[in-house]
Amino acid sequence: MRERIWVPPLLLLLPLLLPPPLGDYEQAVRDLEAALRSHRRLREIRARCARHCAVRRPLAPPCSGPGAELPFFRSLLQRARCYRSCETQRLGGPASRHRVSEDVRSDFQRRVPYNYLQRAYIKLNQLEKAVEAAHTFFMANPEHMEMQQNIENYRTMAGVAAFQLVDREARPHLESYSVGVKHYEADNFEVAIKYFEQALREYFNEDMECRILCEGPQRFEEYEYLGYKGGLHEAIADHYMQVLVCQHECVRELATRPGRLSPIENFLPLHYDYLQFAYYRVGEYVKALECAKAYLLCHPDDEDVLDNVHYYESLLDDDIDPASIEAREDMMMFVKRHQLESELIQSAAEGLGFSYTEPLTGKLPDVLWLPPWEDRGSREDSVLVPSGGPLLYENITFVYNSEQLNGTQRVLLDNVLSEDQCRELHSVASFGYEGRVPLKSARLFYDISEKARKIVESYFMLNSTLYFSYTHMVCRTALSGQQDRRNDLSHPIHADNCLLDPEANECWKEPPAYTFRDYSALLYMNDDFEGGEFIFTEMDAKTVTASIKPKCGRMISFSSGGENPHGVKAVTKGQRCAVALWFTLDPLYRELVLVCAGGHQLHPTSSSAASAVYPQLYGFRVRSPGLCPVDDADSFSGEGGKRQEEADFPLAKCHSKDST
């Protein structure tokens, strides 16, 4: 008996419509899982029917003479009939019964059902399945902070550490490619070849499915308000151009990981670049040559690969003519089709009066090559940025530079604060929890923030003014009885101005990252605690390149991009306090409260000065950066709070844009 393919929109809302006391979560799970299966099955059937009918009902070319177009349209009608019959047979009814709204289609694309599913599984105490659902949703929604916290909470529960995080909607070609890269980097070339070849087969299969799904109903949004009814040729042209543009963009779609806006740089050609060297290393020179020539279809001027081609040709047996070895057929066909599509779209854009911009302008090879970091808005390479300028203040001790910290744009300094300053700021933590901050401490906080800014600006030899972007003071306290055998991080590995993607070895400079941040600094106040080390890692978020133990007056500063992934180990005993500072070179994102505060003369004993200079300037908050009520003339009040693992007592400038 065939499975009935139907995805009722209300299934997505069912777990929320039924409150916990009355909710039938078992039924909710059954319905949601059935909806997900149906959605996958529907895509498979449509792709299978399209392939089947393309073979059985090929389109006939137009002939000459009267009725020249009739053979083409006859074959088109036959294919449409074949397609409808196939779908009806496999779906158990007319295809129109299985159409859903644009909102529901968008929900499935954004993996919204998995958000509801993880809630239902938690209610049923099925933790492993809840983790899978949560992780699957989070992979496509990396900005969803609530889901990130849910995953962290699940992993602290008994037994979850042993669970492997599974993405139930993982795209096979991306997974195989990632595995291939790992084996390639480990010099396991035979295994790497297996996975790269598998990734290419999966890529071309998914490309076919992507192109087939583009053939579905189209919307003419620019004409909707007119009740658009075009003539025969205009309607055909409008519909086909939308389909063609959609199909042409599949190359970008397949190179983009779920939840990301930017595609993986140079994705498809890279398969052949890896393969040409891997085949060479295992002694298969003909295949190495084929893959090198396939790569050159996209990058004909790549000098390294051109040299490889000449070298591979010299290794061939005497009875093999190098000229007879052509590029891989799969890539040749792909490139030829892509070029024809590009030419047709550009021609139609000129003739029919619509605008279309290629992913990149220029000749075909550039279309398949995605732009480098600085061109596509991802992380900037700061290797060539100078550093080592004067430290400006006496008593500051230089400890390590970038090279000694195994990275770029890094510096470690000591004695930025005196012991008395550390004690004063450390004491603010207890004041903050009680909701009171002396004006003297607020003044000190401002002064040491400005001191840190000047040091960073001078040491990294910046040619333009460095502005504050966001500053706060935070203390983390280990909770008693919950610290046995902890080896987790209190701050997961991340970069400060881009979204770190360890699997792709990329850092995407796009929202919700704070892309305007350029430099970061942490200024520590104490060392009477255990754990809490600051660490740098490689972009894999696993390989630690430097570990720094906090102490009074120590400051670590670094550029905020993907070149400096970092995190903080959990505090297991005592309390660690630090001032965290983020800076920007863009005045549009500077911290405006500092402009106000810096332009006044402060008088610690003057209540009028406090109200005039620091209205809503400093305060304590955990979740509400804008909530800083004034308690009285000489103190400031706000909120305090705790996390599950540690307690936070942050002192923040309330006009800032975030609460990192």
Dihedral, CA of residue 353, residue 355, residue 360 and residue 361, to nearest 10: 40
In angstroms, the CA 228 to CA 84 distance is 26
DSSP class of residue 397 equals E
In angstroms, the CA 83 to CA 46 distance is 8
| Contact yes or no for 252/359 (Cβ under 8 A) | yes
Nearest to 100 by CA among 17, 13, 10, 14: 10
β-partners of residue 521 are 557, 581
| Contact yes or no for 263/252 (Cβ under 8 A) | yes
Strand ranges inside 539-650, DSSP E: 544-548, 555-559, 566-569, 571-584, 618-620, 630-632, 635-636, 641-642, 646-648
Phi, psi of 289 (to 5 degrees): -65, -40
Say how many C-beta atoms besides its own lie within 10 A of residue 643's C-beta.
Answer: 14
Phi, psi of 282 (to 5 degrees): -100, 5
In angstroms, the CA 469 to CA 456 distance is 13
In angstroms, the CA 152 to CA 268 distance is 34
**CB-neighbour burial class of residue 178 (10 A; exposed 0-12, middle 13-18, buried 19+):** middle
- Quote the longest CA-to-CA distance of the chain: 99
- Kindly report the CA angle at 378 between 273 and 468, in degrees rounded to 5? 155
In angstroms, the CA 203 to CA 328 distance is 15
Nearest to 109 by CA among 121, 101, 120: 101
Q: Are strands 618-620 and 651-653 parallel, antiparallel or unpaired?
A: antiparallel
Q: Which pair of structure tokens corresponds to residue 54?
A: 């393309």
Omega prior to 359 cis, within 30 of 0 = no
In angstroms, the CA 563 to CA 495 distance is 8
In angstroms, the CA 346 to CA 63 distance is 26
β-partners of residue 568 are 491, 534
Provide the H-helix boundaries in 576-659. 592-598, 607-613
Q: Which amino acid is at 298?
A: C
Among candidate residues 410, 453, 517, 576, the one labeled active-site is: 576
Nearest to 316 by CA among 347, 337, 288: 288
Query: Is position 576 annotated as part of the catalytic site?
Result: yes
Give per-residue burial for 68-84: e unless 16+ CB within 10 Å, then b. eeeeeeeeeebbeebbe
| Contact yes or no for 417/523 (Cβ under 8 A) | yes
DSSP class of residue 652 equals E
Helix H, strand E, coil C: the string for 335-346 is HHHHHHHHHHHH
| Contact yes or no for 520/563 (Cβ under 8 A) | no
Q: Which residues are catalytic?
A: 576
